Amino acid sequence: MSEHDVLVHGHCDPRFAAVRAAFEENVRERQELGAAVAVVVDGSTVVDLWGGWADAARTRPWGRDTVVNVWSTTKGPVALCAHLLADRGLLDLDAPVATYWPEFAAAGKEKVLVRHLLSHRAGLAGLREPHTLEQLYDWELTTRRLAATEPWWEPGTRSGYHALTYGHLVGEVVRRVSGLLPGAFLEREVAGPRGIDFTIGRPERDAGRIGELVQAPAPPGGDGSAAALPSEPAAVAALANPAAGAAAANTAAWRAAEIPAANGHGTARGVAALYGLLMGGGTPGGGGLLSPSAAERVREGQGSCRDLVLGAGLAHETEIGLGLWLSGPNGSYGPNPRAFGHDGFGGSCGLADPEAGVSMGYVMNRMGPHIADDPRKTALIDAVYGAL
């Protein structure tokens, strides 16, 4: 078998044959290594495909239960934890963060609201003091520093992508309210009871089924690639303090840490199931989770703008809801502008479209250079909507 051949396994409803074709084309034309895609429509799984290789040396085939680090696609499940607490009346998204986390009021942050954390509008895209990966792995140190630091811009006025800090900010509120770190809360309240194969971090006992991430070189900038990242102080803090890539994410230390913005590990089925829960649906046989009003709140737009952190790397304005990005006029998550989702560094994504009754998960291990809207993801989404 040549490196451009792929043996695709799994199930695909004949109506969605174009999704299988796009999945195979990703290998032939878009340099896929190993990947999986799952699509749920009206509670039924219509696509559950996987193929390729779980390691760079092509010695381990990608299996049905291969899991992989999905980077910022993790942010959707973390937002789900906050929305679930709000739906239970335990968390007020319009309350100051300091209501639940008193130390957070330092340095002029007493008026920062919980919704500002969810929508990347808190002005805390990154820390001002140097922060290493090893320090990021220390939950108490990282949250203490975030509580003490001052915002980079006036909170609530516009978005600036909180690449790594998002998980500690929203996650500490989850911890203060529930008594559990977000990984434990997600497992106890959501994933565990529903048999969803997705965790924040991953036990080392699962190392044999974790896909090895491979970092692709960045092409010249200007097309939404990583090379086009901005150089403003807030952006540098967000994206390079600390910097993380495939080499770090392949280590036991990364997997053992609680990094709710970036170290979720799961299957495509797990991602599709969690994003389905965000729209008030559920896994097949699993039932719903959020009330209709809570599910609608997830995609409550907070204002379109050129993101302060990602702006130079994206060709258009974007709008974030309460934890998820809206598809908007750019169609990042399909043609419905009110569909929503989240991309992960290198290409993965989860999406939900309540009007179409669709949720989707796409995971892979060869990281592409794009900040968002990786061509492999876009090809799969186009195929899904072409079949509806």
Q: Specify the CATH number for the domain of residue 236.
A: 3.40.710.10
Residue 108 tokens read as 């002029």
Residue 338 tokens read as 């009110």
Instruction: Give yes or no for residue 281 having a pLDDT over 60.
Output: no
Which pLDDT score is estimated for 231? 67
Q: Does the residue 87 lie in any domain?
A: no
Q: Does the residue 370 lie in any domain?
A: yes
Which pLDDT score is estimated for 280? 82
Q: Does the residue 174 lie in any domain?
A: no
Q: What's the number of domains the chain is made of?
A: 1
Could you give the CA distance from residue 1 to residue 5 in angstroms, rounded to a whole number? 6
Going by pLDDT thresholds of 50, 70 and 90, the confidence category of residue 372 is: confident
Lowest average pLDDT, out of 3-17, 150-164, 203-217, 248-262, goes to 3-17
Instruction: Give yes or no for residue 218 having a pLDDT over 80.
Output: no
- Secondary structure letter of residue 212 according to DSSP: P
Could you give the CA distance from residue 328 to residue 303 in angstroms, rounded to a whole number? 11
C-beta atoms surrounding 317 within 10 Å: 15
Return mean pLDDT, the chain.
Answer: 92
Going by pLDDT thresholds of 50, 70 and 90, the confidence category of residue 9 is: very high
Instruction: Give yes or no for residue 258 having a pLDDT over 90.
Output: yes
Enumerate the active-site residues.
72
Q: Are strands 366-367 and 358-364 parallel, antiparallel or unpaired?
A: unpaired
Q: Where are the alpha helices (DSSP H) in the chain?
A: 17-30, 75-87, 114-118, 133-136, 139-148, 165-178, 182-186, 192-194, 233-240, 246-249, 252-256, 268-278, 292-298, 375-387
Q: Does the residue 366 lie in any domain?
A: yes
Q: Does the residue 316 lie in any domain?
A: yes
Q: Where is pLDDT greater, at 224 or 116? A: 116
Q: What are the tens digits of pLDDT across the range 197-216?
A: 999 999 999 999 999 999 97
Could you give the CA distance from residue 41 to residue 39 in angstroms, rounded to a whole number? 7
CA distances from 297 to 1, 281, 361, 385 (A): 48, 14, 21, 24
C-beta atoms surrounding 193 within 10 Å: 12
Domain of 274, in residue numbers: 8-80+182-387
Which pLDDT score is estimated for 283? 44
Q: What are the tens digits of pLDDT across the range 15-61?
A: 999 999 999 999 888 989 999 999 999 999 999 999 999 999 999 99
Q: Does the residue 329 lie in any domain?
A: yes
**Bridge partners (DSSP) listed for residue 366:** 214
- Mean pLDDT value of segment 134-149: 98
Q: Does the residue 115 lie in any domain?
A: no
Q: Does the residue 254 lie in any domain?
A: yes
